[in-house]
Homo-oligomer: A and B are copies of this chain.
Amino acid sequence: MNSDISPTQFVNQILSQAQPPTRPAKIGQTGKGRAPVNIALSKYWGKRAVALNLPTNSSLSISLPGLGTETTIEITEGSSDHVTLNNQILEISHPFAQRLSQYLNYFRNPNQAFKVTTFNTVPTGAGLASSASGYAALVLALDDCFQWQLPKQQLSLLARLGSGSASRSLYPGFAVWHKGVQEDGLDSFAEPLPQTWPELCIGLIKVDIAEKKVGSTQGMQNTVETCELYSAWPKKAEQDLAIIQQSIEDKNFTRLGETAENNALSMHATMIATWPPILYWQPGSVQAMQQVWQLREDGLSVYFTMDAGPNLKLLFLEKEEAKIIQTFGNIQIIKPFKQD
């Protein structure tokens, strides 16, 4: 399905609900935004409408405080944007800058460009969801710059257009991105869940921080088009989301961990069964998985999830922290509800 609504119409529809501007968007005007990365416990894999970034299935994530993106934008004169990423000025032909500029086209006034200064505290393109925090932070910076004063839900819609998973990075803690059913895409936004889980820990195991060869947009399109096993994915994804949401309500960690790990592995399974095959794993990914399974055999309650990259994200409760550190020396541990 491809919507008859263009991305520009979609954006204008949302901006029509913004505060009427108290001042025109002037050269020199600035805005700031900051957003965390998020890790999906129930994954997003597959688009039902590419132009509007509408997903085949809903997803559920947890945001990681302390890891994310901070972005400043400034309205400048002229027609070409100026993008700095982690203190490095990017050529306008750089894929990162190109994608950003294309997105900014929805928001720019005639004869205005943007100076964008962005800092990621996660490596770019390594399956640590830097585009999620990136587009969420950018949308917050735009909201600040243009004084839209849009509610989070509307900002989530705009962030989604930049990068699907960015819709979930508007919130701390758990968030659910509803796939939505409307053709106009206006019901496909993320909302926060009210629950907190102070004992919950996320452990980042960095197997490889190199840029991935196949970006997730391309990867999921190839999967949808060529993977026969994918037909069973959308239903499974919805079921897993419901189980994980219930596990969060019940504080049932085993159920959450089992479902999240199986959900991630099932998503990777659809990639592996794609042609040409998509394998984001490295030898070190397999080794880390085997270590997790060995720990479970030894009685430790630890699970993992993986995104479109080679790195593992462990899920465990605080009481297991010492043993986890013992096994994975090089692990970075985040407590989503104990940090900010």
Contacts and interface: CB of A to CB of B under 8 A. Distances in A.
A102 interface: no
Contacts of A231: 232
Contacts of A285: 286
B282 A286 contact: yes
Contacts of A229: 229, 232-233, 236, 266, 269-270, 273
Given A286-B279, A286-B286, A287-B283, A228 B266 contact: yes
A243 to B, nearest CB: 12
Q: Chain A at the B interface: mostly helix, strand, loop or mixed?
A: helix
Contacts of A235: 228
A272 B287 CA distance: 15
Contacts of A290: 279
A281 interface: yes
B277 A261 contact: yes
A94 to B, nearest CB: 23
Contacts of A239: 228
Count of chain copies: 2
Interface residues of A, number: 34
Contacts of A281: 286
Contacts of A287: 283
A271 to B, nearest CB: 8
A286 B283 contact: yes
Interface string A214-234: 000000000000011111110
B258 A266 contact: no
Contacts of A230: 232
A268 interface: yes
Contacts of A275: 258, 262
B273 A262 contact: yes
A255 to B, nearest CB: 12
Contacts of A276: 293
A227 B287 CA distance: 23
A265 interface: yes
A218 to B, nearest CB: 16
A289 interface: yes
A273 B269 contact: yes
Nearest to A263: B273
Given A283-B287, A285-B286, A286-B281, A266 B262 contact: no
The 5 closest A-B pairs by CB, nearest first: A283-B283, A269-B269, A266-B273, A269-B273, A228-B236
14 contacts: A227-B266, A228-B235, A228-B239, A229-B273, A232-B232, A258-B275, A265-B272, A265-B277, A266-B272, A266-B273, A269-B273, A277-B293, A279-B286, A279-B289
Given A229-B269, A229-B273, 7 more contacts: A227-B266, A228-B235, A229-B233, A261-B277, A262-B275, A269-B273, A277-B289
